[in-house]
Amino acid sequence: MVAGDDLRGLMRLWPHGVSILSVDVDGDRMGVTVSSLVSLSLEPPLIGVSIGKDASCYELLRAAGRFAISLLGSDQEELARRFAAGYPPIVHWEGVPTREATIAPLIDGALGWMEAETRTEVDAGDHTFFIADVLSLAHGPSRNALVYRESTYHSV
C-alpha cells in the first residue's frame, strides 16, 4: 500500500477540469469546488463525483439526493477559489450570479450545467462516490475551460 500523500503527490501532476457542485434543501444552499467529476455512462447518462466525508456540504448532499454541476470557464477562477475556501454558505453565495434551476443554484456564465439525481452512494474510504442520473443539461458560452494542476489554475 502507498501513503495517501504519495497518491496526492502523483495525481496533482494530472490535470483535472474544475466545476462547482451545488445543493439546495428547502433553501439551505451549499456549493463546493470539485475536480473529481467524471462522465460514467451514456446509456443511461450517468456522472460520478467523489466528495470528502468531512466536506461541509456532505450531509446536505446526502439529504438532498440530487445536485447540480456548473462546469467552470477559465475566467471563473475566483469562483473556484471561493467555493474551495471553506467559507460559511452565506458568504459563498454572496454576489454570485446564478441562473434559474430546479434542483440547486447554477453558476451564471459557466461553460455548461447539469442537474442530477443520486442513484448510488459508494463508500470510498474518506470519500463517498456519488453516482447520479443526469436529468438535464445545457451549454453556456463557449470558451476555454478552467483546469487545475499542481495547485495552479490553467486555461485549456
In the complex, the residues that contact ligand FMN under the rule CB under 6 A are 18, 32-36, 50-52, 55-56, 84, 86, 148
Nearer to ligand FMN, 75 or 102 (CB): 75
Please give the residue whose beta carbon sits closest to ligand FMN in the complex.
36
Q: Least distance in Å: CB of 143 to ligand FMN?
A: 19
By CB atoms closer than 10 A (0-12, 13-18, 19+), residue 65 is middle
Q: Least distance in Å: CB of 35 to ligand FMN?
A: 4
Q: Least distance in Å: CB of 30 to ligand FMN?
A: 8
* 152 three-state secondary structure: strand
In contact, 13 and 150? CB cutoff 8 Å: yes
**Closest C-alpha among 16, 29, 12, 3 to residue 103:** 29
